[in-house]
C-alpha cells in the first residue's frame, strides 16, 4: 500500500490517494474493493475487476501476481491505514486510558471511512481461502494484541485484557456484517455504541478528555 504521507495531517488520506496521474495499481485496487464488496471473493472474477478498472486482464497480472495477492493487498491497505491512525492518535495522549480511547476511536474512524474496504476484509474474507485466512488472521491477531496491551496498561489483568480485545474485534466485525447486509442500519451509531459498550464492560469511566 505504500504511501502514507508524512505530514501534518492526523489522518492519512483515504485509499484513493491523490491521483496525480492515473495509477493503474490504484485503479485496480479501487475496482477490486468495489467488486469484492458486492460479490465476495469467490463470486468475483478477474474479469469483473478489470472491466470496472477499464483495462485488460493481462494488465491485472502486471500489478498483482494473483487474485489472492490482490486481495491481500487490500487487507494490508486497511491494516496499514488503521495502524497509522492508531499510532498517530495514541501519540496525542499521555494516560493509558486516554491512549486506549484514542486507539478505539481511531480504529472505528478508519473503518467507517473505508466502509467498502472494511466490508471486504471483515465480512467477505472470512471463509474465503486458506491462504487469505492466514494473512487475515495475522492482522486480527496484531490488532487484538495491540488492544490487549493497552488494556493491560489500563489495569485489566492479562486474561481479561486479551479476551476483551478479541471480543471487541469480533463485535465490531459483526456490526459491520450487519450493516453490510442491511445497509439501512446506522453504522456510525452502532460502531460507537460498541466502543462504549466495551468501555463499560472494562469498567473504565466514561471519561471525557479523549476523542469523541
Partner DNA sequence: GATGAATGAGGATTCATTCAT
Partner DNA sequence: AATGAATGAATCCTCATTCAT
Provide the binding-site residues for its own copies, judged by CB under 8 A. Answer: 39-43, 123-130, 133, 137, 140, 159-160, 163-164, 166-175, 177-178, 181, 189-190, 193-194, 197-198, 200-201, 203
Residue 207 binding partner per list its own copies, DNA, none, with a CB distance cut-off of 5 to 8 Å that depends on partner kind: none
CB of 117 to its own copies, least distance (A): 14
CB of 56 to DNA, least distance (A): 3
Q: Is residue 93 a contact residue for DNA (CB under 7 A)?
A: no
Q: Which of residues 165-204 bind DNA (CB under 7 A)?
A: none
Considering the complex, state which of residue 63 and residue 79 has its C-beta at the smaller distance from DNA.
Answer: 63
Write each residue from 51 to 70 as x if it is in contact with DNA (CB under 7 A), else as -, in one continuous string. ----xxxxx-xx--xxxx--
Considering the complex, state which of residue 11 and residue 166 has its C-beta at the smaller distance from its own copies.
Answer: 166
User: Are the C-beta atoms of residues 35 and 123 closer than 8 Å to each other?
Assistant: no
User: Are the C-beta atoms of residues 154 and 71 closer than 8 Å to each other?
Assistant: no
Q: Which of the ranges 40-48, 144-152, 159-167, 187-195 carries the binding residues for DNA, by CB under 7 A?
A: 40-48
Write each residue from 8 to 27 as x if it is in contact with DNA (CB under 7 A), else as -, in one continuous string. ----------------x---
Residue 194 binding partner per list DNA, its own copies, none, with a CB distance cut-off of 5 to 8 Å that depends on partner kind: its own copies
**Residue whose C-alpha cell is 488492544:** 147
Q: Is residue 131 a contact residue for DNA (CB under 7 A)?
A: no
CA of residue 128 relative to chain centroid, distance? 17
**Interface residues with DNA (CB under 7 A)?**
24, 44-47, 55-59, 61-62, 65-68
Amino acid at each position: 500500500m505504500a504511501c502514507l504521507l508524512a505530514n501534518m495531517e492526523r489522518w492519512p488520506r483515504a485509499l484513493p490517494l491523490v491521483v496525480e496521474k492515473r495509477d493503474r495499481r490504484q485503479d485496480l485496487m479501487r475496482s477490486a474493493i468495489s467488486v469484492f464488496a458486492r460479490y465476495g471473493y469467490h463470486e468475483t472474477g478477474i474479469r469483473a475487476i478489470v472491466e470496472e478498472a477499464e483495462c485488460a486482464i493481462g494488465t491485472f497480472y502486471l500489478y498483482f501476481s494473483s487474485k489472492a495477492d490482490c486481495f491481500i493487498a487490500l487487507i494490508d491497505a486497511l491494516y496499514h491505514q488503521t495502524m497509522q491512525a492508531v499510532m498517530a492518535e495514541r501519540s496525542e495522549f499521555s494516560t493509558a486510558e486516554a491512549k486506549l480511547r484514542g486507539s478505539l476511536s481511531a480504529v472505528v474512524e478508519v473503518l467507517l471511512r473505508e466502509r467498502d474496504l472494511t466490508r471486504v476484509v471483515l465480512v467477505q474474507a472470512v471463509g474465503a481461502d486458506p491462504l487469505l485466512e492466514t494473512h487475515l488472521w495475522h492482522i486480527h491477531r496484531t490488532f487484538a494484541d495491540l488492544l490487549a496491551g493497552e488494556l493491560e496498561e489500563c489495569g485489566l489483568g492479562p486474561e481479561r485484557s486479551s479476551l476483551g480485545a478479541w471480543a471487541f474485534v469480533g463485535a465490531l466485525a459483526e456490526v459491520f456484517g450487519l450493516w453490510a447486509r442491511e445497509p439501512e442500519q446506522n453504522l456510525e451509531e452502532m460502531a460507537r455504541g460498541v466502543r462504549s459498550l466495551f468501555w463499560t464492560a472494562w469498567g473504565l469511566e466514561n471519561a471525557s478528555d479523549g476523542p469523541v
